[in-house]
Amino acid sequence: MSEKHPVPTREDHDDFCAGEGWELVRGATGKPVTHHKTYELELWDGRILRTRISRPVDRTDYSARMWSHILREQLEVSSDEFWRCAKGGVKPDRGAPEVVPPRKSVPLYLVRELTRLGVPEADILALDAAGAARLYADLLAN
């Protein structure tokens, strides 16, 4: 296939799906689909990728044309990303936005009072509501 990577097998394909966390599709009876091993991956943007591995899942090689189709249309990864996941467990970057944990905000009246007492706004915003209330009480006590 390439001098850089070995010829991919069905077993490598299965390793990739397991490594990235794809879910095995079950039939109407709740049992795995029997004609192919079928996986799905729900992406952050709501799309669902689906790939099939012909049974048996063994060391049978894929043709270059078939493998190119699987990478592009089913897995949506480059060859390098595939091998990093299949052999190294490094999940591909699917472009999900970074999740920023919500901050606990300080009530506006505390921001105003602490600012009036000379506390810089950046210091106030670094606190949560309870911390701002303690700081306010401490400043009033002094």
**What's the token pair of residue 71?**
């990478």
- Whole-angstrom distance, CA of residue 49 vs CA of residue 113: 53
pLDDT digit string, tens, across residues 30-41: 776 667 889 999
Annotated domain spans of the chain: 10-88, 108-141
pLDDT digit string, tens, across residues 50-92: 999 987 767 788 889 999 999 999 999 999 999 999 999 999 9
SS3 at position 85: helix
Q: At what angle do helices 79-88 and 10-20 cross, to 10 degrees?
A: 80
The pLDDT, as a whole number, for residue 125 is 85
The pLDDT, as a whole number, for residue 80 is 96
- Whole-angstrom distance, CA of residue 55 vs CA of residue 27: 16
Q: At what angle do helices 108-116 and 129-141 cross, to 10 degrees?
A: 30
Tabulate helix, strand, coil % of the chain (nearest 5).
40, 15, 45
- Whole-angstrom distance, CA of residue 56 vs CA of residue 35: 9
